[in-house]
């Protein structure tokens, strides 16, 4: 089996959770780099086929080499393209966008929304692992009509990472600043006493104490969190 980092294992776990049908469908890994996620999806039979997209030729070649070496040449395709450009989505697809900045993720999803009909998007699950700008990503997803199915966290080589699983339902909602910055699903897990989430919130609180000086959304989220914590 292809070895994965703790962070990529977390991403794969969300792909497993998204794979609800008895017959697995397609997994599309946007920004596949080394192709590790795609290889594991086929090894574990979470996917019947995989598509890797890469904006750069070098990582695309790496993905292709990994898939060929693992014997999955006939069940995989690799494209050098920007996001999902030229890859029409299909019912049941699971789209992974991991290890990228939040603004890049938003750009890729918003173009996919324009290029594919909403009826298709409703049957596609997105597994997102933003490296930064989480509050902007969550706000974008909520106001665009996505529903948060789950959010997980992990601690990998001294860094916390989070991973969202979302589906498009066309129901637009507005998040509070606290929900945007801490995550609606993680707030629920925290209130249920989840130890891992409590550790993550401890880390976020320290980070936000510094960032709130220049960011009014974070300042408001931190104040809201402190108020709710006292209740
Ligand atoms: C830091 S790596 C993360 C790789 C892998 N997804 C992971 O989580 O370990 C980001 C990769 O995304 C690719 N990338 C960045 N923007 C992209 C875009 N708009 N479309 C496709 N690939 C992109 C980069 O070339 C790079 O290989």
Q: What pLDDT does residue 19 have?
A: 92
Does 179 contact ligand 1 (Cβ within 6 A)? no
CB atoms within 10 A of CB 51: 20
Bridge-based pairing of strands 49-54 and 26-30 is parallel
Does 100 contact ligand 1 (Cβ within 6 A)? yes
Does 83 contact ligand 1 (Cβ within 6 A)? yes
Instruction: Yes or no: say if 165 and 143 are a contact pair by the CB < 8 Å rule.
Output: no
Q: What pLDDT does residue 108 have?
A: 98
Q: What pLDDT does residue 20 have?
A: 80
Q: Determine the average pLDDT of the residues in 82-103.
A: 97
Q: Is residue 94 part of a domain?
A: yes
- Domain span at residue 201? 175-231
**Could you tell me the pLDDT band of residue 39, with boundaries at 50, 70 and 90?**
very high
Question: In terms of domains, do 130 and 23 share one?
Answer: yes
Predicted confidence (pLDDT) per residue in 130-164, tens digit: 999 999 999 999 999 999 999 999 999 999 999 99
Question: In terms of domains, do 231 and 120 share one?
Answer: no
Instruction: Give yes or no for residue 22 having a pLDDT over 90.
Output: no
Question: In terms of domains, do 97 and 27 share one?
Answer: yes
Q: What pLDDT does residue 119 have?
A: 85
Question: In terms of domains, do 160 and 179 share one?
Answer: no
Predicted confidence (pLDDT) per residue in 164-206, tens digit: 999 999 999 999 999 999 999 999 999 999 999 999 999 999 9
CATH code assigned at 130: 3.40.50.150
Q: Is residue 17 part of a domain?
A: yes
Q: Is residue 68 part of a domain?
A: yes
Question: In terms of domains, do 96 and 36 share one?
Answer: yes
Domain boundary among 156, 174, 192: 174
Q: Is residue 90 part of a domain?
A: yes
Nearest CA to ligand 1 atom 4: 33
**Could you tell me the pLDDT band of residue 230, with boundaries at 50, 70 and 90?**
confident
Q: How far apart are the CA of 55 and the centre of ligand 1, in A?
A: 7
Domain count, the chain: 2
**CB environment 183-217: b (16+ within 10 A), e (fewer):** bbbbbebbeeeeeebeebbeebeeebeebbeeeeb
Does 30 contact ligand 1 (Cβ within 6 A)? yes
Question: In terms of domains, do 196 and 109 share one?
Answer: no
Does 59 contact ligand 1 (Cβ within 6 A)? yes
Q: How far apart are the CA of 88 and the centre of ligand 1, in A?
A: 19
pLDDT, mean over the chain: 96
Domain boundary among 139, 157, 174: 174
Q: Is residue 1 part of a domain?
A: no
Question: In terms of domains, do 168 and 75 share one?
Answer: yes
Nearest CA to ligand 1 atom 2: 99
Question: In terms of domains, do 80 and 126 share one?
Answer: yes
Predicted confidence (pLDDT) per residue in 54-78, tens digit: 999 999 999 999 999 999 999 999 9
Instruction: Give yes or no for residue 117 having a pLDDT over 90.
Output: no
Question: In terms of domains, do 198 and 151 share one?
Answer: no
Instruction: Yes or no: say if 163 and 10 are a contact pair by the CB < 8 Å rule.
Output: yes
Nearest CA to ligand 1 atom 14: 31
**pTM for the structure as a whole:** 0.97
Does 196 contact ligand 1 (Cβ within 6 A)? no
Question: How would you list the strands of the sheet with 94-100, edge to edge?
Answer: 76-80, 49-54, 26-30, 94-100, 125-130, 159-168, 146-156
Domain boundary among 174, 201, 222: 174
Does 12 contact ligand 1 (Cβ within 6 A)? no
Question: In terms of domains, do 43 and 109 share one?
Answer: yes
Q: What pLDDT does residue 101 have?
A: 98
| Residue pointed to by tokens 């497993």 | 16
Question: In terms of domains, do 83 and 165 share one?
Answer: yes
Q: What pLDDT does residue 18 have?
A: 96
Question: In terms of domains, do 21 and 50 share one?
Answer: yes
Q: How far apart are the CA of 172 and the centre of ligand 1, in A?
A: 28
Point out the ligand 1 atom lying closest to the alpha carbon of residue 100: 10
Q: Is residue 179 part of a domain?
A: yes
**Cα-Cα-Cα-Cα dihedral sign, residues 202, 199, 163, 101:** positive
Q: How far apart are the CA of 100 and the centre of ligand 1, in A?
A: 6
């Amino acid at each position: 089996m292809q070895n994965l980092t703790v962070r990529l294992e977390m991403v794969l776990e969300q792909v497993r959770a998204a794979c609800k049908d008895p017959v697995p469908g397609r997994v599309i890994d946007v920004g596949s780099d080394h192709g590790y996620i795609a290889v594991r999806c086929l090894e574990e039979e979470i996917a019947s086929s995989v598509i890797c997209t890469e904006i750069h030729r070098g990582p695309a070649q790496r993905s292709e080499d990994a898939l060929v070496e693992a014997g999955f040449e006939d069940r995989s395709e690799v494209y050098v393209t920007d996001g999902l450009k030229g890859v029409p989505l299909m019912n049941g697809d699971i789209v992974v966008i991991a290890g990228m900045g939040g603004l890049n993720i938003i750009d890729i999803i918003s173009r996919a929304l324009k290029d594919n009909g909403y009826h298709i998007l409703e049957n596609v699950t997105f597994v997102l692992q933003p490296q930064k700008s989480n509050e902007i990503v969550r706000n974008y997803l909520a106001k665009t009509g996505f529903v948060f199915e789950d959010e997980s966290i992990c601690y990998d080589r001294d860094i916390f990472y989070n991973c969202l699983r979302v589906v498009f339902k066309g129901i637009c909602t507005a998040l509070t600043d606290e929900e945007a910055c801490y995550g609606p699903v993680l707030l629920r897990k925290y209130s249920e006493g989840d130890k891992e989430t409590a550790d993550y919130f401890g880390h976020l609180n320290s980070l936000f104490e510094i960032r709130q000086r220049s960011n009014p959304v974070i300042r408001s989220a931190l104040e809201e969190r402190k108020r709710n914590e006292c209740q």
